[in-house]
């Protein structure tokens, strides 16, 4: 077929410059990763079609001369034929491609966290003042023994006789979710590594191997093994505090990953241990795992390779039968199960999957916690909840629904300047986050953003202490799975049942 | 040198003994009465360590292995050399499913047949060049998503069918050598068939000799025929699959 260059898709945003304020410093030209601006001899010109509203140019314009507005030229409103649907038809008819984008779904599904309210103490049981009383946020991730043997040592002191399975010690119940070097920049990973070390928490390499610069941060790193096995070798498995086997991701359950060859430069090639310029394809399933028994085999292959010294985590997307799936994973020997809800982020995924596959993390968590308790195996593994944890309130609710800790991904990138424009797949991120272009990566200072990540998690931790105090609980572990302390509003009976909570007022 | 009688021994104990032995500097291991123990050689290191396995080992031998040699004097089971980095595995019999999954270096020589899903996502990196040579035939899903390295299919028993379905689908790197031509219409659209030339044969020679020596086969028996090779049509089979939202 002959290709036509004519496109029906009009600019989504307009990059407007107030030429009276503009001093022609050209910083916007330099800052925009998508090449919106150019210099026209006497003034800045803008190619609106390139703007994705990433927010970089106006943040860095010294004169406040830039505004990014939604293109006022509208498509006629139609609740059935929504703008996005019409544009995708144009896009696909022009290219024949599967529509992909970065970040999580933009669909407006019900957000259950926003319909859950927390309890507080009044009169009959006093609240605790977190500024005065100790308030424990420390969390241990890993298998907890179902019985403990205690004995006496030679001095007659009581000692623990049972050998504790390996644990990850977190000073606060947050971790950074898996984001690979390749999907994000090394500087973005370094910012998380610095923050994780300062906070006493962990980050996760994702399926991109471990860059040499991150090796010293091993005590604060979980290394990942996914279907492409990129960068996975014996020393890698032993270089972090735990190993995570990635089966699925909330943004793209059931499908693999694909880092295009143009993003595989020398440094990423070395870290992933694949040649420069080839596509890094992660197959949809691990082709050595077609059953729970096969998963058990890989879990124990990893345990053997790490001498049983590291907890093994298994990451799955929240899907319809998640409770039964997690029960199987726990029985397969996982020490930690990471459940990623359908609103979780990604570097790139087909919209058809992102927008239509999976279930909310809130419902998944409640069902999983319930099921594992019913089966008497809740102690066998810790649960990490993820899939757009947007605030400390989401975190507290997730823990009360049954999680041991939560993982944040998008929120951490927002700290680094991300405006959730969803164009991570293009590799042009103006903020230096989801790009490998050196001139863009350089602008992300790991020290600066490491400190801001530290600030965010510290602030969220203080907020959690406040809430715990209000609920009269002095340790985060006592809140885990306390659904009695939650109430629902604007939820149907079926939703309340799935969440295992009562309606407010009851 | 150490001999371990593995009769009735759990794999955890057996592998602990092997790791301990390597830690003490032992180079040669003889494992007797092996009967289904998993994970032999999993995650071990040391180029001069040789482990002789007498009996039939269980799944996942040589997973994540980085240097040693495993010699199985019998059949072996599934998942041999999973994500192996370096070393050598010699199987003097048949192998099960999933051989060399995600393998990045080292060699796996199999005297007999191998099962389904052989060489999936095998990859090369710099001077690391994983090599699998199989004497008999293979099952379906052979070399799926193969990204690098070399697999040689010999079909020594001279049966006609020595390849399964979904041969090399998604292959985007590496080379497959065949000692016999196979029905091209069955091939994945991602690959092309060529006749192996002198350069190919010179390159293969050293490995074919090593293979033949491992099993005491006269090497002329292997290299007497013309070879064919299969390479991916593109290193980027999915480059035009997507459009940005
Ligand atoms: S920097 Fe971002 S907001 Fe500014 S013009 Fe470029 S894409 Fe648009
Ligand atoms: S990280 Fe992705 S969503 Fe965030 S600003 Fe960069 S390209 Fe946009």
Task: Tell me what percent of chain B is helix, strand and coil, each rounded to the nearest 5.
Answer: 15, 30, 55
Instruction: Tell me, in angstroms, the distance from the centre of ligand 1 to residue A14's CA.
Output: 9
The reply to whether residue B121 touches residue A274, judged by beta carbons under 8 angstroms, is: no
| Domain locations along chain A | 13-101, 139-503
Q: Find chain A residues with C-beta within 8 A of B15's C-beta.
A: 304
For the segment B64-81, the average pLDDT, to the nearest whole number, is 96
> What phi-psi label fits residue B64: left (phi over 0), alpha (psi between -120 and 50 degrees) or beta?
left
Distance, in Å, from the CA atom of A81 to the CA atom of A63, rounded to the nearest integer, reads 40
CATH code for the domain in which residue B227 is found: 2.160.20.60
Q: How many CA atoms lie within 13 A of B9 on its CB side?
A: 19
User: How many CB atoms within 10 Å of residue B134?
Assistant: 28
Q: How confident is the model at residue B160 (pLDDT cuts 50, 70, 90)?
A: low
Q: How confident is the model at residue A385 (pLDDT cuts 50, 70, 90)?
A: very high
The pTM (predicted TM-score) of the whole model is 0.94
* Nearest residue of B to residue A425, measured between CA atoms: B244
* Domain assignment of residue B157, yes or no: yes
In this predicted model, what pLDDT tens digit does every residue of A71-98 receive, in sequence order?
998 888 899 999 899 999 999 999 899 9
* Nearest residue of A to residue B46, measured between CA atoms: A234
Strand A37-39 versus strand A44-46 pairing type: antiparallel
State percent of chain B over pLDDT 70. Answer: 99
- Please report, for residues A256, B83, B92, B100, B143, the alpha-carbon distance to residue B116 in angstroms, rounded to integers and kept in the order given: 21, 17, 18, 11, 10
CATH 3.20.20.70 describes domain A139-503? yes
8 Å CB contact between B135 and B112: yes
In this predicted model, what pLDDT tens digit does every residue of A7-22 receive, in sequence order?
888 899 999 999 999 9
Is A493 exposed, middle or buried, given 0-12, 13-18 or 19+ CB atoms closer than 10 A? exposed
State percent of chain A over pLDDT 70. Answer: 99
| C-beta of A103 in contact with ligand 2 (< 6 A) | yes
8 Å CB contact between A174 and A147: no
Ligand 2 mutation target, pool A418, A426, A443, A444, most atoms within 8 A of CB: A418
Closest CA to A405 of A220, A177, A173, A143: A173
By alpha-carbon position, which residue is closest to atom 7 of ligand 2?
A424
Q: How confident is the model at residue A293 (pLDDT cuts 50, 70, 90)?
A: very high
Give residue for tokens 């982020």: A345
The reply to whether residue B239 touches residue A260, judged by beta carbons under 8 angstroms, is: yes
- Please report, for residues A9, A60, A127, A177, A420, the alpha-carbon distance to residue A426 in angstroms, rounded to integers and kept in the order given: 18, 22, 50, 21, 13
Q: Find chain A residues with C-beta within 8 A of B243's C-beta.
A: 91-92, 94-100
Residue predicted with more confidence, A29 or B162: A29
* Nearest residue of B to residue A304, measured between CA atoms: B42
Query: Would you state the structure tokens that stand for residue A96, as one six-digit string?
Result: 């024949």
For the segment A448-467, the average pLDDT, to the nearest whole number, is 97
DSSP-based three-state secondary structure for B98: coil
pLDDT for B215 beyond 90? yes
Give residue for tokens 């601006």: A37
| Window 248-277 of A, Cβ < 8 Å to B | 258, 260-261, 269, 273-275, 277
Q: How confident is the model at residue B241 (pLDDT cuts 50, 70, 90)?
A: confident
pLDDT score at A274: 86
The reply to whether residue A307 touches residue B19, judged by beta carbons under 8 angstroms, is: yes
The reply to whether residue B59 touches residue A233, judged by beta carbons under 8 angstroms, is: no
In this predicted model, what pLDDT tens digit does every residue of B91-121 receive, in sequence order?
999 999 999 999 999 999 999 999 999 999 9
Q: Find chain B residues with C-beta within 8 A of A351's C-beta.
A: 245
* Nearest residue of A to residue B86, measured between CA atoms: A233
Closest CA to B77 of B96, B60, B63, B93: B96
Residue A54: nearest ligand to its CA? 1
Q: How confident is the model at residue A1 (pLDDT cuts 50, 70, 90)?
A: very low
pLDDT score at B152: 95
For the segment A415-444, the average pLDDT, to the nearest whole number, is 96
Ligand 1 mutation target, pool A22, A50, A52, most atoms within 8 A of CB: A52
pLDDT score at A199: 98
- Please report, for residues A223, A252, A344, B40, B101, the alpha-carbon distance to residue B63 in angstroms, rounded to integers and kept in the order given: 17, 28, 32, 8, 9
pLDDT score at A363: 98
Looking at A101-115, A223-237, A278-292, B121-135, which range is the least confident one?
A278-292
In this predicted model, what pLDDT tens digit does every residue of A242-264 receive, in sequence order?
999 999 999 999 988 877 777 88
Query: Would you state the structure tokens that stand for residue B23, as one six-digit string?
Result: 């830690």
* Domain assignment of residue B201, yes or no: yes
pLDDT score at A468: 95
pLDDT for A4 beyond 60? no
Nearest-10 crossing angle of helices A361-374, A392-401: 30
* Nearest residue of B to residue A52, measured between CA atoms: B245
Task: Give first-to-last CA distance, chain A, whole Å.
Answer: 65
* CA-derived radius of gyration, chain B: 18
Instruction: Tell me, in angstroms, the distance from the centre of ligand 2 to residue A434's CA.
Output: 6
Q: Which CATH class is domain A13-101?
A: alpha beta
| Window 163-192 of A, Cβ < 8 Å to B | none
User: How many CB atoms within 10 Å of residue A216?
Assistant: 11
Distance, in Å, from the CA atom of B74 to the CA atom of B91, rounded to the nearest integer, reads 7
For the segment A43-49, the average pLDDT, to the nearest whole number, is 95
Distance, in Å, from the CA atom of B169 to the CA atom of B192, rounded to the nearest integer, reads 11
By alpha-carbon position, which residue is closest to atom 6 of ligand 1?
A32
Q: Provide the residue count of chain A.
A: 506
Closest CA to A178 of A86, A242, A82, A123: A242
Distance, in Å, from the CA atom of A394 to the CA atom of A116, rounded to the nearest integer, reads 9
8 Å CB contact between B179 and B135: no
Name the strand (E) or helix (H) holding A88: helix A83-95
Q: What is the 3-state secondary structure (H, E, C) of A363-419?
A: HHHHHHHHHHHHCCCHHHCEEEEECCCCCHHHHHHHHHHCCCEEEECHHHHHHCCCC
Residue predicted with more confidence, A146 or A491: A491
Q: Find chain A residues with C-beta within 8 A of B101's C-beta.
A: 229, 287-288
* Domain assignment of residue B224, yes or no: yes
Sheet containing B50-56, strands listed edge to edge, beginning at the edge strand earlier in sequence: B2-5, B28-35, B50-56, B66-72, B86-91, B107-110, B131-134, B147-153, B173-178, B228-232, B191-195
Q: Find chain A residues with C-beta within 8 A of B172's C-beta.
A: 278-279, 281
Phi, psi dihedrals of residue A372, rounded to the nearest 5°? -65, -35
Instruction: Tell me, in angstroms, the distance from the centre of ligand 2 to residue A31's CA.
Output: 14
Measured on CA atoms in the order A367, A369, A372, A375, is the torsion positive or negative?
Answer: negative
For the CA of A56, the nearest atom of ligand 2 = 5
Beta strands in A157-301 (DSSP E): 158-160, 168-170, 174-176, 203-204, 221-225, 242-246, 257-259, 280-282
For the segment A263-271, the average pLDDT, to the nearest whole number, is 86
Distance, in Å, from the CA atom of A54 to the CA atom of A431, rounded to the nearest integer, reads 8
pLDDT score at A6: 78
| Domain count across chain B | 1
As for the ipTM of the complex, it is: 0.92
Q: How confident is the model at residue A5 (pLDDT cuts 50, 70, 90)?
A: low
- Please report, for residues A278, B10, B58, B59, B222, the alpha-carbon distance to residue B37 in angstroms, rounded to integers and kept in the order given: 38, 7, 5, 7, 33
For the segment A322-333, the average pLDDT, to the nearest whole number, is 97
Using CB atoms, pick whichever of B173, B235, B244 lies closest to residue A101: B244
* Domain assignment of residue B89, yes or no: no
8 Å CB contact between B69 and B107: no
Is A266 exposed, middle or buried, given 0-12, 13-18 or 19+ CB atoms closer than 10 A? exposed
Q: Find chain B residues with C-beta within 8 A of A234's C-beta.
A: 43-45, 64-66, 85
Please, what is the Cα angle at A325 between A344 and A176, to 5 degrees? 30
Name the strand (E) or helix (H) holding A37: strand A37-39
8 Å CB contact between A386 and A360: no
Closest CA to A386 of A244, A230, A194, A216: A244
> Among the residues of A100-212, which ranges form H helices?
186-199
Residue predicted with more confidence, A234 or A5: A234
What is the domain range of residue B232?
94-241
Distance, in Å, from the CA atom of B154 to the CA atom of B137, rounded to the nearest integer, reads 8
Closest CA to A250 of A120, A175, A344: A344
For the segment B3-29, the average pLDDT, to the nearest whole number, is 96
By alpha-carbon position, which residue is closest to atom 6 of ligand 2?
A429
pLDDT for A302 beyond 50? yes
């Amino acid at each position: 077929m002959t290709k036509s260059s004519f496109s029906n898709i009009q600019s989504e945003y307009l990059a407007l410059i107030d030429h009276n304020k503009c001093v022609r410093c050209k910083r916007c030209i330099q800052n925009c990763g998508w090449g919106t601006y150019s210099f026209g001899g006497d003034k800045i010109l803008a190619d609106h079609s390139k703007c994705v509203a990433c927010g970089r140019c106006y943040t860095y314009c010294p004169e406040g001369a830039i505004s990014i507005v939604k293109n006022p030229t509208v498509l006629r409103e139609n609740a059935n034929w929504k703008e996005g649907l019409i544009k995708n038809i144009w896009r696909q008819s022009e290219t024949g491609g599967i529509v992909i984008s970065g970040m999580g779904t933009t669909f407006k599904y019900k957000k259950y966290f926003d319909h859950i309210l927390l309890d507080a103490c009044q009169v009959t049981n006093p609240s605790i003042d977190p500024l005065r009383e100790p308030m424990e946020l420390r969390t241990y991730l890993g298998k907890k023994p179902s019985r403990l043997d205690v004995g006496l040592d030679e001095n007659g002191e009581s000692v623990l006789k049972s050998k504790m399975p390996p644990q990850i010690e977190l000073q606060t119940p947050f971790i950074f979710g898996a984001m690979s070097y390749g999907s994000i920049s090394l500087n973005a990973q370094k910012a998380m590594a610095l923050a994780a070390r300062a906070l006493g928490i962990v980050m996760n390499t994702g399926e991109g191997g471990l860059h040499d610069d991150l090796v010293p941060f091993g005590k604060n790193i979980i290394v990942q093994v996914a279907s492409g096995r990129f960068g996975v070798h014996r020393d890698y498995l032993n270089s972090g505090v735990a190993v995570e086997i990635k089966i699925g991701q909330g943004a793209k359950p059931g499908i693999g990953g694909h880092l295009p060859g143009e993003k595989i430069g020398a440094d990423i090639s070395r870290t992933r241990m694949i040649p420069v310029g080839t596509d890094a394809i992660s197959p949809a399933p691990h082709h050595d795992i077609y059953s729970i028994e096969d998963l058990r085999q890989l879990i124990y292959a990893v345990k053997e390779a790490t001498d049983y010294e590291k907890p093994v985590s298994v990451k799955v997307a929240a899907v319809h039968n998640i409770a039964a799936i997690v029960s199987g994973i726990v029985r397969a020997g996982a020490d930690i199960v990471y459940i990623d809800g359908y609103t979780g982020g990604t570097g790139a995924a087909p919209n058809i999957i992102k927008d239509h596959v999976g279930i909310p993390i809130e419902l998944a968590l409640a069902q999983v916690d319930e099921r594992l308790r019913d089966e008497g195996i809740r102690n066998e593994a810790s649960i990490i909840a993820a899939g757009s944890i947007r605030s400390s309130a989401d975190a507290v609710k997730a823990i009360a629904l049954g999680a041991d800790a939560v993982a944040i991904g998008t929120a951490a990138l927002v700290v680094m300047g991300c405006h959730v424009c969803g164009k991570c797949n293009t590799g042009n991120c103006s903020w230096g986050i989801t790009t490998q272009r050196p001139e863009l990566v350089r602008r992300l200072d790991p020290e600066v953003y490491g400190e801001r990540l530290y600030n965010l998690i510290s602030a969220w931790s203080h907020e959690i202490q406040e809430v715990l105090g209000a609920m009269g609980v002095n340790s985060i572990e006592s809140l885990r799975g306390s659904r009695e302390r939650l109430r629902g509003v604007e939820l149907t009976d079926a939703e309340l049942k799935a969440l295992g909570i009562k309606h407010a007022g009851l | 040198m150490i001999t371990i009688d593995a009769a009735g021994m759990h794999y955890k104990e057996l592998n602990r003994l092997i790791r301990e032995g390597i830690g003490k500097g032992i180079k040669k291991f003889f494992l007797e009465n092996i009967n289904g123990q998993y994970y032999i050689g999993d995650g071990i290191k040391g180029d001069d360590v040789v482990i002789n396995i007498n009996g039939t080992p269980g799944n996942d031998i040589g997973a994540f292995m980085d240097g040693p040699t495993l010699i199985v004097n019998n059949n072996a089971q599934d998942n041999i050399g999973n994500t192996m980095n370096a070393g050598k595995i010699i199987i003097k019999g048949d192998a099960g499913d999933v051989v060399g999954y995600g393998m990045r270096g080292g060699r796996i020589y199999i005297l007999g047949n191998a099962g389904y899903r052989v060489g999936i996502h095998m990859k090369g990196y710099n001077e690391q060049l994983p090599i699998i040579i199989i004497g008999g035939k293979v099952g379906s899903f052979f070399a799926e998503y193969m990204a690098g390295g070399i697999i040689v299919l010999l079909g020594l028993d001279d049966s006609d069918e020595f390849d399964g379905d979904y041969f090399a689908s998604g292959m985007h790197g590496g080379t497959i050598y065949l000692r016999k031509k196979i029905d091209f219409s069955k091939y994945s659209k991602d690959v092309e068939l060529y006749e192996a030339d002198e350069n190919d044969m010179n390159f293969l020679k050293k490995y074919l000799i090593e293979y033949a020596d491992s099993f005491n086969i006269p090497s002329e028996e292997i290299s007497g025929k013309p070879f064919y090779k299969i390479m991916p049509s593109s290193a980027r089979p999915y480059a035009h699959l997507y459009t940005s939202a």
